[in-house]
Amino acid sequence: MSRTYFGTDGIRGTVGHPPITPDFMLRLGHAVGRVLKRTGSRRSVLIGKDTRISGYVIESALEAGFASAGADVVMCGPLPTPGVAYLTRALRLDLGVVISASHNPFGDNGMKFFSARGEKLPDEWEQQVEATLAEPPQWVDSASLGKVKRLDDARGRYVEFCKSTFGNDLSLRGLKIVVDAAHGAAYHVAPDVFHELGAAVVAIGCSPDGFNINDGFGATDPTALLRAVREHNADYGIALDGDADRLQLVDRAGRLYNGDELLYVIVADRLDQGHKVPGVVGTLMTNMAIELAFKARDIPFVRTKVGDRYILEELIARGWQLGGEGSGHLLALDRHTTGDGIVSALQVLHAVCRTGRTLEEQLAGVSLFPQKLLNVRLQAGQDWKANTRLAQEQAAVASELGQRGRVLIRASGTEPLLRVMVEAVDPAVAGRCAQRLADSART
């Protein structure tokens, strides 16, 4: 019977503990290679990684596993997750593998997989891999072993791709931008992209040592970015996470813009240029103010479960192009097949440069609703959905809020907690309503 290794975003865990061990990575590479070989006699795989010291061990083990199954391997070294997705597609390879634990601390690691089209793979593919992992290995003979080579110009190719997503008739000249790469995979990419498009760039978080990824820098901790923007009197600051698939952005006044706001700016810029936007996808956590702002512009808006994977699935199913979540995972499928922090930042800056209006000006009239989030601990085996008092209170609160607020109640996926969230125009109302719901959940 096969075991489940894949989560909502690939495989991830603590290095040295199963499954993030060299022996498992060897088996994983071999199993994935065998799955690939079922669709052709000779398959090619691209492997990239972030800057964690554990990447060297995992990279070597995966390389051996793929070669032992007869799959060729192309190594590109440190490169953002969306860079691997792009190169897999551009080089007409069969699979892209990223060794990264994204925004997690350096002691964690994992891997994500991309199809030949640069898209995340479906559950069915992951299930095939897990089933193959449960089988004995089938080592190929010496004549059939995969070959390994290194792609020396991966960084330069990806820099040019990122630049190509920014309007040819615009430049970033006149803007001073602080770029924080979280000591991660974009350390040698992001500063060059913004500099080559004309911006004066101040780079921070661009000195990885294998241990400092996401440590006090990047999208998960914008403190250093805020400080640098102030110290250098910069116009904007851009912070990426360890594998550069999401971002945070601040302006010279120190205002931090979350992914919901940035998504609205991108959508509004497309509309103002006369482009058709058939709809936008957010998540259960997308701020209600953004939903109402789309509604005011006659743009359909739908919500998915939290996670960029679910956003992507919904966009593809509906044939739409734009979506995202407050964490800064943004998707612009007319620019890239997956979430890309650098490309998303360029779409936002495109709106700034095209209009000559600051982000604050572009978001005038769009004020995020205050949110109050309370956690209620659940007892073992407790079925919160059967709590009739909570259901009645939820209906009452939703009725009271109307179009001036929203209720979201969901169980944590990792802890025995019930998360109770209320949005309302008035923060005091949000707090009172959230407390009423939390009290009902405890009965």
Residues tagged active-site:
102
Instruction: Decide: helix, strand or coil at residue 244.
Output: coil
Helix (H) or strand (E) holding 62: helix 55-68
Compute the distance between CA of residue 43 and CA of residue 41 in angstroms, rounded to an integer.
7
φ and ψ of 316, to 5 deg = -65, -45
* Amino acid (one-letter) located at 163: K
Are the CB atoms for 431 and 373 separated by under 8 Å?
no
Are the CB atoms for 433 and 424 separated by under 8 Å?
yes
Instruction: Decide: helix, strand or coil at residue 146.
Output: coil
Show Cβ contacts of residue 312 under 8 Å, excluding neighbours closer than 6 positions: 119, 120, 323, 331, 338, 339
Helix (H) or strand (E) holding 77: strand 72-78
Compute the distance between CA of residue 289 and CA of residue 311 in angstroms, rounded to an integer.
19
- Retrieve residue 422's tokens: 């209320």
Compute the distance between CA of residue 430 and CA of residue 211 in angstroms, rounded to an integer.
41
> Which one-letter DSSP state was computed for residue 314?
H
Compute the distance between CA of residue 192 and CA of residue 83 in angstroms, rounded to an integer.
14
Q: Which residue has the tokens 């209906």?
A: 395
Among residues 235, 208, 236, the alpha carbon closest in space to that of 222 is found at: 236
CA 141 to chain CA centroid, nearest Å? 39
Compute the distance between CA of residue 114 and CA of residue 181 in angstroms, rounded to an integer.
22
Q: Which residue has the tokens 């004995």?
A: 136
* Rounded alpha-carbon distances, angstroms, from residue 299 to 212, 270, 277, 282, 302: 42, 12, 7, 12, 10
User: How many other C-beta atoms can be found within 10 angstroms of the C-beta atom of residue 76?
Assistant: 23
Compute the distance between CA of residue 29 and CA of residue 64 in angstroms, rounded to an integer.
7
Compute the distance between CA of residue 91 and CA of residue 391 in angstroms, rounded to an integer.
53
